[in-house]
Structures are given as C-alpha cells and as structure tokens.
Amino acid sequence: MAPDIPLISLFLASIFTSNILLANFLGMCSFIAISKDMNSSNGLGLAVVVVLTFTTAVNWAVLNYVLIPLDLVYLRFIVFIIVIASVVQMLEMIIDRVSQTLYLSLGIFLPLITVNCAILGVSLFMEIRQYTFVQSTVYGLGSGLGWWLAIMALSAIRKKTEKSKVPAGLQGAGLTFITIGFMAMAFIGFTGLLQVQ
C-alpha cells in the first residue's frame, strides 16, 4: 500500500528531515571530492537532481509494469543500475554539448554518478516504501535538491575554512569530515517534523 503522505510534506521531508546525504549518508564520495570547488559542486548538484528525478520515475515504471507483473522483483538491483547507467550516459552527452566547461570540471565524477549510492538508494527506498508514481517522482526530485543543497552548503563552508588557520593534521579531508558531522547533527534537528514514510 502506498503511504498516505501529502506531496508537499514528502517533498520537504526528502530535502530536509531525510536528506539523502546528511540523514542517510549516501553519495559521500563525490560529496567530499567535488565540494572543494563551488562551481563544480553547483554543476554536479544540478546533474544529480536531473538524474535522480528521471531515474526514480523510470525505475518506478520498470518496477511496476515489468518487474512486478513478471514476478522478477529480485532483479531490481541489476535493472535499476542499468537504467541509471543509461540515463547518466545520455546526460553526459547532453552536458558535453551544452557546456564543455561544466563537462570538463565534472570530469570523472559525471560518469561516476552511475555508482553514486544516493541514486540507487533513492530508487530502492522508493520500492521499499511503495510510493506511487507521483510520490516517487517528487521524492526523487526532493532528494536531488537535498543533495544539491548539502553539497552547496559544504562547499561554501569549505571556501571559508580554506582561508582559516587549521591545525596541520586536520587540513583538507580531516576538517571536511568534522564539518560534515556538524552539518548532519544540524539536520537531525529537523527530525520528526515531517514524515517520509
């Protein structure tokens, strides 16, 4: 049974209270690697929004019209990943055409969106929580926006900490981990305000 949640609260919940990055800790690799540059963060964030929205919608259709009727739900991991890979490939071609600068600054992380755990994670949550098509799409979009928000926030913080005095041992990744910890704690403050399932 699909959960009975108003779309607006599902949307806000997926951005804030159940932020895919800071509540579920999915999609960390590119989050940490790319957040050192704000422009690339913005581009990657946008790419994740698009990929998440599309893949969740397509995966919902594939799940409900192919896998469930044929009793093949156990194949969902493979099928979801194939869908994600193709969507990313198409997106890669489009970005290459539209903006070479963004294409080069995203570099290897663009094809690696394919194995970004956040993307597969959202599709799997969608299946576990038995969302409807509209709910899935809203949840995908919201999660993408949440990921974008989180990476922009982190890259803004890193831009500040870059210029501050940091003990040698904590420079770079060390301080970033601590910052992410604080951010996650701040997001915990939202817990219980909205329901995601």
Partner 1 sequence: MELHNLELAYFIAPLAISGISAALAALVSVTDRIVNNYGDAVININDGSKSLDVKGGTNMLLTLAENQIFIPSACGGRGSCGECKVKVKSDVGPHLPTEIPYLTREQIDGNVRLSCQVKIKSDVDIEIPDYLFKIKQYTGTVERIRDVTHDIKEVYLKLEDGQAVDFRAGQYGQIETPPYGKVRERTQRAYSMSSRPSDSNHAEFLIRLVPGGIVTTYVHEHLKEGEKIKIIAPFGEFYVRDTDATMICVAGGSGMAPFKSIFYDFIEKGRMNERDIWYFFGARTRKDLFYLDELQQMQDEYERFHFIAALSEPQPEDNWTGETGLITEVLDRYLKNEISPDKPKEGYLCGSPGMLDACMDVMRSNEMAEDRIYFDKFA
Q: Does 94 bind partner 1 (CB under 8 A)?
A: yes
Give the number of residues in contact with partner 1, rule: CB under 8 A: 23
Cα–chain center distance at 107: 18
What are the residues whose beta carbons fall under 8 Å from the beta carbon of 129, sequence distance 6 or more?
A: 3, 196, 197
If one asks whether residue 73 binds partner 1 (CB under 8 A), the answer comes out as no
Q: How far is CA 175 from CA 27, 36, 154, 157, 182, in A?
A: 19, 12, 11, 11, 11
- The distance of closest approach from Cβ of residue 67 to partner 1 in the complex, given in angstroms and rounded to an integer, is 8
Q: Quote the least distance from Cβ 65 to partner 1, whole Å.
A: 11
Q: Which is nearer to partner 1, 120 or 196 (CB)?
A: 120
Q: Judged by CB under 8 A, does residue 104 bind partner 1?
A: yes
50: which residues sit within 8 A by CB, 6+ positions away? 91, 144
Exactly one of 83, 126, 138, 196 binds partner 1 (CB under 8 A); which one? Answer: 83
Using CB under 8 A, pick the residue from 105, 114, 116, 143 that binds partner 1.
Answer: 105
